[in-house]
């Protein structure tokens, strides 16, 4: 073979007799780059910023700020990188609307065999502003309770009242004081579900967790435009990890007068397969609030429903079938090592969605599932429906808490996703 007199593997001299190799210049360059990086790290450490540098270098996915949304504030999307590599179901994103009381607008999860799956019933984010526009059906923020997961306070569910003519407002009495609140629509004697629905956050802060991200929003709600006996500061915190979304709400009475308070959540939890009849529901109670058929309001009494179509307190849950569900479950039974656990099981997707109250003041679960819709709303609430109504001895017996000046009320719920075990799948 003609190799011009060179032996195999012998390098050809460069022009001018100099011997230059790739290794000859790459190694000094790498050493130089490493030196620069070490100098930067030393500088940042010296200025107390090394932890920030580390976060910037290896934070996982950044908190995503989306285009302006409902309420004129940017939605916030927490996200995380999947780690199970298809071996399990895990949460990958959570989107919140700070301009609309921190509505949990959407949760998504990676589900083996199905990709990224939305777990809340909501429209696409681009159309949310046209729905949550503050007009017509969204007057006083009413539309917030029709999608995603609205946070409810200073009361959960509905309250009834007498009309204040021409103002679209209702009023009720609490300890001899008058409470004012908006009617859900013209001519109605029922309220919307709380006063945070259309309120914007005063501050929003995000952070990185070892396996996800968190966001904290603060609302200086005052006295809700003169409608509540004292001023209130509300803090909403959410922490997203692989299998959990922890949602915490803290309400502090910052005024000089005591005030009644209740907190709740109204999530529209999807049945991803759309097969509602074969989905299973598990509720940790066999007691429901009795409702007056004429008024739709509670009577103040409970009814035991063991063995009926309203009984979902069974191992593995009971099939939803073709019947609607519209009940408030009380006397919640705690799970093993945790709070009461309510579950939706979708056998076709092989997943379980769990709602777990973690604070003792959560006394009931409002469960709604129309027969023709592929979703179930499981609302963990501190107070029952119409807590200022005559059916109760006093609002406290309906779950309303009197916050003294300076006092803070906390509400915490965990949302979980998991795959069904082999034995559970065999039973379906």
Nearest to 206 by CA among 103, 107, 62, 69: 62
Q: What is the pLDDT of residue 336?
A: 72
Which residues make beta-bridge pairs with 251? 234, 409
DSSP state of 50: H
Question: How confident is the model at residue 338, as a pLDDT?
Answer: 76
Contact 167, 274 (CB under 8 A): no
Give the closest residue to 230 by CA, choosing from 390, 410, 399, 408: 408
Query: For residue 291, what are the CA distances in angstroms to 296, 312, 382, 384?
Result: 6, 19, 18, 12
The C-alpha atoms of residue 159 and residue 262 are separated, in whole angstroms, by 12
Contact 326, 368 (CB under 8 A): yes
What secondary structure letter does DSSP report for 56? H
Contact 162, 189 (CB under 8 A): yes
Q: What is the pLDDT at residue 421?
A: 80
Spell out the residues 6+ positions from residue 199 whose beta carbon is closer than 8 angstroms to its own.
71, 100, 101, 141, 219, 221
Residue with tokens 């959410």: 238
Predicted pLDDT of residue 139 = 87
Query: Which residue(s) pair with 117 in the sheet?
Result: 109
Helix axis angle for 22-46 and 50-57, nearest 10°, is 130
Q: How many helices (H) and strands (E) does the chain have?
A: 4, 26
Cα gap 322→271, rounded to integer Å: 14
Task: Please give the Cα distance from 265 to 246 (Å, whole number).
Answer: 13
Give the whole-angstrom CA distance, residue 176 versus residue 300: 21
- Residues in the chain where the model's pLDDT stays below 50: 1-31, 33-34, 36-60, 423, 426-427
C-beta of residue 265 within 8 angstroms of C-beta of residue 368: no
Q: What is the spatial order of strands in the sheet that 177-182 belongs to?
A: 162-164, 169-174, 177-182
337 contact partners, CB below 8 Å, separation of at least 6? none
């Amino acid at each position: 073979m003609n190799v011009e007199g060179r032996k195999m593997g012998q390098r050809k001299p460069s022009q001018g007799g100099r011997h230059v190799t790739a290794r000859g210049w790459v190694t000094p360059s790498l050493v130089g780059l490493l030196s620069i990086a070490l100098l930067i790290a030393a500088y940042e450490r010296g200025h107390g910023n090394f932890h920030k540098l580390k976060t910037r270098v290896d934070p996982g996915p950044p908190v995503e700020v989306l285009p302006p949304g409902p309420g004129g504030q940017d939605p916030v999307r927490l996200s995380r990188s999947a780690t199970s590599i298809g071996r399990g179901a895990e949460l990958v994103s959570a989107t919140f609307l700070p301009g609309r009381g921190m509505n949990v607008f959407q949760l998504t999860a990676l589900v083996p065999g199905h990709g990224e799956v939305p777990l809340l019933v909501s429209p696409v984010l681009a159309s949310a502003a046209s729905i949550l526009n503050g007009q017509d059906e969204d007057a006083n923020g009413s539309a917030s309770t029709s999608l995603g997961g609205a946070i409810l306070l200073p009361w959960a569910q509905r309250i009834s009242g007498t009309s204040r003519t021409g103002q679209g407002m209702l009023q009720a009495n609490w300890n001899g004081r008058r409470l004012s609140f908006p009617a859900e629509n013209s001519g109605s004697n029922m309220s919307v579900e709380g006063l945070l629905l259309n309120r914007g956050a005063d501050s929003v802060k995000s952070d990185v967790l070892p396996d996800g991200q968190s966001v904290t929003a603060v609302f200086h709600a005052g006295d809700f435009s003169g409608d509540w006996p004292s001023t209130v500061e509300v803090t909403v915190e959410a922490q997203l990890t692989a299998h959990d979304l922890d949602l915490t709400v803290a309400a502090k009475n910052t005024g000089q007068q005591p005030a009644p308070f209740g907190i709740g959540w109204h999530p529209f939890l999807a049945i991803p397969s759309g097969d509602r009849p074969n989905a299973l529901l598990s509720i940790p109670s066999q007691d429901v609030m009795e409702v007056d058929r004429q008024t739709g309001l509670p009577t103040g009494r409970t009814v035991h429903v063991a063995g009926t179509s309203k009984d979902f307190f069974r191992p593995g849950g009971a099939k939803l079938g073709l019947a609607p569900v519209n009940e408030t479950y009380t006397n919640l039974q705690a799970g093993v090592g945790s709070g009461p656990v309510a579950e939706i099981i979708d056998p076709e997707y092989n997943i379980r969605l769990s709602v777990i109250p973690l604070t003792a003041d959560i006394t009931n679960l409002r469960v709604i599932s129309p027969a023709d819709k592929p979703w179930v709303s499981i609302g963990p609430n501190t107070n029952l429906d119409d807590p200022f109504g005559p059916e109760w001895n006093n609002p406290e017996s309906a779950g309303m808490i009197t916050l003294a000046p300076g006092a803070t009320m906390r509400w915490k719920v965990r949302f979980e996703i998991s795959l069904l075990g082999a034995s559970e799948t065999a039973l379906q």
